[in-house]
């Protein structure tokens, strides 16, 4: 374990928020970032994400941090929405050089390739990387810093549910900016810790609080501050519910999950997710 100063502004003063499954969360007194302290050090994080239990597990202790089945959660509908939002906001004409960070087995990489983009997936899980390679996709195993891409390598970079896992977000955003081509765009989605239901109803029981995994939780103001560390020409921040769109299926799942015995009720969401799009 390691003690951390605020990963966003470096301040040491903070106020205690809660302790969940042994993980203590605080709010920075200077910038308001919510972060875990103490937290796993880099060796512990590496081991945490190398374990298959993080991605597929029935153990409720692991489940609070990781996924019951990460790969089953990569729904084609959601991946299609992800790709549509990238395609919609992309300004590059012609061949688009695209990187998806935390790509899993490469669902969005595949959609982008089919659309004629030159697409690459970057992923920590060797299992997921191999799945992607077997599907004929261009996949790289490792961290962004290990990949060490040349300056200006990409026109579009996406990070769906990545920012909340990063112990050094400022360094990471600088690296993203470096590998983006002029005019290039990064689109990131992350939980909004100031989400209405998370803040007022669920608190530490909110789905977005995942001990050891979600080590930095942002709000619209702290995410703005993160992207302000580098000179993007334009930054756009929007919030939306986890379900992305209120559909009859969402309301049905709210009711049905409450009627099932032993199941976990679907949480209400209003603005618990956040999207940042920044153009270099």
Sorted by sequence, the CB contacts under 8 Å of residue 224 that are 6+ apart come out as 235, 237
Comparing CB distances to Zn ion, the nearer of 13 and 247 is 13
Comparing CB distances to Zn ion, the nearer of 118 and 171 is 171
| Lookup: tokens for 266 | 């679907």
How many residues of this chain interact with Zn ion, rule: CB under 5 A?
8
11 binds Zn ion (CB under 5 A): yes
Among the listed ranges 25-33, 155-163, 165-173, 181-189, the one in contact with Zn ion (CB under 5 A) is 25-33
| Secondary structure letter of residue 165 according to DSSP | G
170 binds Zn ion (CB under 5 A): no
30 binds Zn ion (CB under 5 A): yes
12 binds Zn ion (CB under 5 A): no
Residue 195 near residue 217, CB atoms below 8 Å: no
147 binds Zn ion (CB under 5 A): no
Comparing CB distances to Zn ion, the nearer of 31 and 78 is 31
31 binds Zn ion (CB under 5 A): yes
CB of 4 to Zn ion, least distance (A): 11
- Biggest CA-to-CA distance, the chain: 54
- Which residues on adjacent β-strands are paired with residue 159? 101, 188
230 binds Zn ion (CB under 5 A): no
Residue 142 near residue 122, CB atoms below 8 Å: yes
| Secondary structure letter of residue 183 according to DSSP | E
Calpha distance 276→172 (Å, rounded): 15
Binding residues for Zn ion, rule: CB under 5 A, are 6, 8-9, 11, 28, 30-31, 33
């Amino acid at each position: 374990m390691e003690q951390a100063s605020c990963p966003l502004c470096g301040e040491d003063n903070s106020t205690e928020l809660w302790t969940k499954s042994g993980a203590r969360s605080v709010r920075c007194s200077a910038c308001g970032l919510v972060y875990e302290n103490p937290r796993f050090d880099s060796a512990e994080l590496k081991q945490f994400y190398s374990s298959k239990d993080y991605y597929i597990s029935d153990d409720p202790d692991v489940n609070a941090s990781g996924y019951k089945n990460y790969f089953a959660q990569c729904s084609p509908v959601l991946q299609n929405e992800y790709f549509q939002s990238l395609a919609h906001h992309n300004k590059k004409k012609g061949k688009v050089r695209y990187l998806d960070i935390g790509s899993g087995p490469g669902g969005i990489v595949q959609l982008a390739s089919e659309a004629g983009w030159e697409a690459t997936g970057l992923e920590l899980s060797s299992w997921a990387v191999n799945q992607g390679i077997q599907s004929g996709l261009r996949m790289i195993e490792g961290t962004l810093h290990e990949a060490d891409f040349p300056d200006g390598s990409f026109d579009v970079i996406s990070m769906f549910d990545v920012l909340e896992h990063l112990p050094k977000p400022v360094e990471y955003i600088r690296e993203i900016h470096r590998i983006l081509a002029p005019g290039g765009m990064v689109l990131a989605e992350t939980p909004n810790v100031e989400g209405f239901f998370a803040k007022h109803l669920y608190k530490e029981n909110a789905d977005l609080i995942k001990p050891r995994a979600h080590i930095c939780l942002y709000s619209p103001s702290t995410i703005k501050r993160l992207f302000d560390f580098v000179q993007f020409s334009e930054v756009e921040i929007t919030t939306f519910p986890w379900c992305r769109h209120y559909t009859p299926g969402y309301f049905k799942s709210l009711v049905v999950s409450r009627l099932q015995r032993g199941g976990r009720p679907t949480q209400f969401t209003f603005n618990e997710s956040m999207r940042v799009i920044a153009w270099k």
